[in-house]
Amino acid sequence: MEDHAEKKGVSNTVTGMIFGCYALFDLLASLVFGKYLVQIGAKFMFVAGMFVSGGVTILFGVLDQVPEGPIFIAMCFLVRVADAVSFAAAITASFSILVKAFPNNVATVLGSLEIFSGLGLVLGPPLGGFLYQSFGYEVPFIFLGCIVLLMVPLNMYILPNYDSDPGEHSFWKLITLPKVALIAFVINSLSACFGFLDPTLSLFVLEKFNLPAGYVGLVFLGLALSYAISSPLFGLLSDKIPHLRKWFLVWGNIITAGCYMLLGPIPILHIKSQLWLLVLILVLNGISAGMSIIPTIPEILSCAYENGFEEGLSTLGLVSGLFSATWSVGAFIGPTLGGFLYEKIGFEWAAAVQGLWSLTSGLTMGLFYLWEHSRRRRSKLQNIPGTEEERTALLPDDI
């Protein structure tokens, strides 16, 4: 896509804006769709999102037929925005439908789905590359768009209709709950960590280890596969033993931070950068990411229910909208800041800075859980004498 934009005489800044506008519209659309999920209908939102997404993907393939200049730039922006909005609709609705369909196994189902996200990340680049080299620019987009469109009638047939009443709660009430705000910060830092690797890791691997371009994708394989394999396991554990979720969240972030310190590795450590070490760290990063991403939605949900949000589609819409929105903020900041820091201070230090973000979110989350634990213990201790006094006060009357 980028080299085609260059051929059409689009500057690097505008290309950056075309890619950046995706995250902005994904953020806005996630919030709007999350709020109005019940009114629009979860099934319609999911199916319509997929339909538009498939169509837009096909349009991507024919963008190189558009004459260069302002028309080309405008069409690029249009297609990117439509892609972001349709993606936000499909993802926000899909989370809500899943949680509604499997209320007692939320983390297990989300974890199992991440297998397919991982597979997509693994298979996408080589398959796309193969189609591009064999058949040219258009075919990968048309092929993928048609697959998505084929899924539309299938989902129309399979998915049940969920009816629900609109709730009176808002995003603002959800995000101002301290625990939810902190978990949003965690989601943000994790998606920024993933996003950071996009523009920087391949350049670093090419420069440092002189690998042929085809092998760079294999380095990413370790991350995607370990994430896909470990996610269902953490999901299962999160559902079966709910008090483990807080440990996953905290330690997942701290381990992720350690991974980013060692990616380069950071020069202070005086460890020689080696390819096997890099791949090993990426595998570990995949596991720690699964560990911290999977418990986020169940934790936000339980916190919302504790604070008086009604159990139903309207709350699920808010929670999944919030997840998508905070994820897209990180997905924008990660590559933007990562690319900038990579140029200024080099990969080793840039990765360490990214790791600091995860470390901060992990430690803050840990401190919050400690505070919450001590507050609960205090309130239990205060309640015990009260109940004893009430009993003695009531007993004489009963007798």
Interval 353-368: pLDDT, tens: 999 999 999 999 999 9
Residues 6 or more apart whose CB falls under 8 angstroms from that of 211 comprise: 205, 219, 275
Residues 6 or more apart whose CB falls under 8 angstroms from that of 242 comprise: 298, 302
**Residue 113 in tokens:** 């789905």
Q: Are 99 and 315 a contacting pair, CB within 8 Å?
A: no
Residues in the chain, total: 399
- Match 């009531």 to its residue by tokens: 394
CA distance 296 to 323: 8
User: What pLDDT, in 10s, does the model give residues 52-97?
Assistant: 999 999 998 888 888 877 888 888 889 999 999 999 999 999 988 8
Terminal-to-terminal C-alpha distance of the chain: 84
The stretch 174-197 carries a mean pLDDT of: 90
Task: Report the predicted TM-score, pTM, of the whole model to 2 decimal places.
Answer: 0.82
Residue 206, judged by CB atoms within 10 A of its CB (0-12, 13-18, 19+), counts as middle
370 or 221, which is more confident? 370
Given this model, what pLDDT does residue 384 score?
67
> Taken in order 258, 188, 229, 141, is the CA torsion positive or negative?
negative
CA distance 91 to 50: 9
CA distance 161 to 149: 20
Given this model, what pLDDT does residue 213 score?
65
The stretch 231-240 carries a mean pLDDT of: 90
Model confidence at 251: pLDDT above 50: yes
CA distance 297 to 183: 9
Q: Considering the chain, what is the average pLDDT of its residues?
A: 85
For residue 383, count other CB atoms closer than 10 A to its CB.
10
CA distance 115 to 225: 8
* H helix intervals, the chain: 2-7, 12-35, 37-40, 42-61, 70-101, 106-135, 138-158, 171-175, 178-209, 213-240, 244-263, 275-293, 296-306, 313-398
Residues 6 or more apart whose CB falls under 8 angstroms from that of 325 comprise: 26, 27, 30, 31, 34
Give the DSSP letter string of 355-391. HHHHHHHHHHHHHHHHHHHHHHHHHHHHHHHHHHHHH
Given this model, what pLDDT does residue 196 score?
86
CA distance 19 to 8: 16
CA distance 159 to 98: 10
Model confidence at 169: pLDDT above 90: no
- Residue 1: band (very low, low, confident or very high) from pLDDT cuts 50, 70, 90: low
Given this model, what pLDDT does residue 398 score?
47
CA-to-CA separations, 267 to 182, 275, 345, 352, in angstroms, rounded: 31, 16, 12, 10
The stretch 322-351 carries a mean pLDDT of: 86
Model confidence at 35: pLDDT above 90: no
